[in-house]
Amino acid sequence: MGLTGQKHTNTSVNTTLIHGDCVEEMTKMQEGIVDLTVTSPPYDNLRTYEGSLQWNEGIWKQVIKNLYQVTKKGGAVVWVVGDATINGSETGTSFKQALYAMECGFNLHDTMIYKRHSMPNSAQRYSQDFEYVFVFSKSKVNTFNPIQEACRYAGVGTSPTSRDINGNLISKGRRVIKDTKKKGNVWTYSAGAGKSTKDKIAHAHPAIFPEQLLQDHIISWSNEGDLVFDPFLGSGTTAKIAKKLNRNFIGIEKVEEYFDIAQERIKTIQPELTLT
């Protein structure tokens, strides 16, 4: 996969990890400083996170409202989320969160799918093979560096058409298909032990991102030297990838065990950290 349009700078970058509650810590942050947030909040009650989890509508509304305050105009939030199934019905919390983000002032810039293989289930429904990825933006996004992929029919001549509001066909002329194209918004990644990351220590956390998922989003919505934020730091995957891609980073983690894991992972890239 390649990328286009990404800006490159020689700016030195800083990584700050904060041990604390993100609801409280975000209120201490300067307004409008974050270029990109990439995060995954708790999925309803699917994990207890060492007994630390207090997660309900009142809390996630505070998180989203605070994210709007700290996000720069033109900045983006990548919100990876799923729903629990209770009494045979999915909760729909992910949709409620997306709608509330819009109430706070965010644009729903894109609704994407993170597809991964899952274990077969015995429920009367199909296996859950994806999670939602909502991309919120504060006003129009400042940065978009689209990930490219090879075109299957590169070099083939074609005569594309579209339809107007009345359903009439409109010819767009003759053209030759290019070698590459912008990816669609369904992204597939391998996940699990040895697949999400090669950092064995990270798997002490019960729900980790595939590193490639983080890399693709950070490249897409930010440039070198920008500030990337993760209020649910977990095992520190966002911090690690942000540092590798030469972005400044702030991360918040409530659970001490996970905070320690995040420190160890990022120290393999950046020995000196700013710790709060």
DSSP string, 79-110: EEE---EETTEE--HHHHHHHHHHHHT-EEEE
The predicted pLDDT at position 2 comes to 32
109 or 236, which is more confident? 109
Q: Angle, nearest 10°, between helix axes 256-267 and 237-244? A: 20
The 3-state DSSP composition of the chain as helix, strand, coil percent (nearest 5) reads: 25, 30, 50
Mean pLDDT over 243-252 rounds to: 94
Q: Taking 90 as the threshold, does the pLDDT of residue 34 lie above it? A: yes
Each residue of 177-206: pLDDT tens digit? 788 989 999 999 876 555 545 445 544 444
With 70 as the cut, is the pLDDT of residue 264 above it? Answer: yes
Has residue 46 got a pLDDT over 80? no
Q: Is 239 exposed, middle or buried (0-12, 13-18, 19+ CB in 10 A)?
A: buried
At 261 the pLDDT is: 86
CB burial readout 165-188, b (16+ within 10 A) else e: eeeeeeeeeeeeeeeeeeeeeebe
Per-residue pLDDT for 152 more than 90? no
Q: What is the pLDDT of residue 65?
A: 98
pLDDT band at 167 (very low <50, low <70, confident <90, very high): confident
| Assigned token pair, 148 | 């490219």
Q: Answer with the residue of higher pLDDT: 128 or 259.
A: 259
For 102, residues 6+ apart whose C-beta sits below 8 A from its C-beta are 108, 136
Longest dimension (CA), the chain: 62
**Confidence (pTM):** 0.83
Kindly tell me if the per-residue pLDDT of 164 is higher than 60: yes
Tokens at 218, concatenated: 């950070």
Q: What is the mean pLDDT of residues 19-34?
A: 96
Distances (CA, A) of 90 to 42, 61, 102, 135: 15, 19, 22, 21
Residue 9 above 70 pLDDT?
no
Could you give the percent of the chain with pLDDT greater than 90? 51
At residue 19 the predicted structure's pLDDT band, cuts being 50, 70 and 90, is very high
pLDDT in the model for residue 193 = 57
Residue count of the chain: 276
Pick the CATH number of 30-147+183-235 from 3.40.50.1980, 3.40.50.150, 3.30.200.20, 3.40.50.11030: 3.40.50.150
Cβ atoms of residues 193 and 214 within 8 Å: no
What is the rounded average pLDDT for all residues in the chain?
Answer: 84
In this prediction, residue 161 carries a pLDDT of: 81
| Among the listed residues 75, 79, 229, 80, the one whose alpha carbon sits nearest the alpha carbon of residue 143 | 75
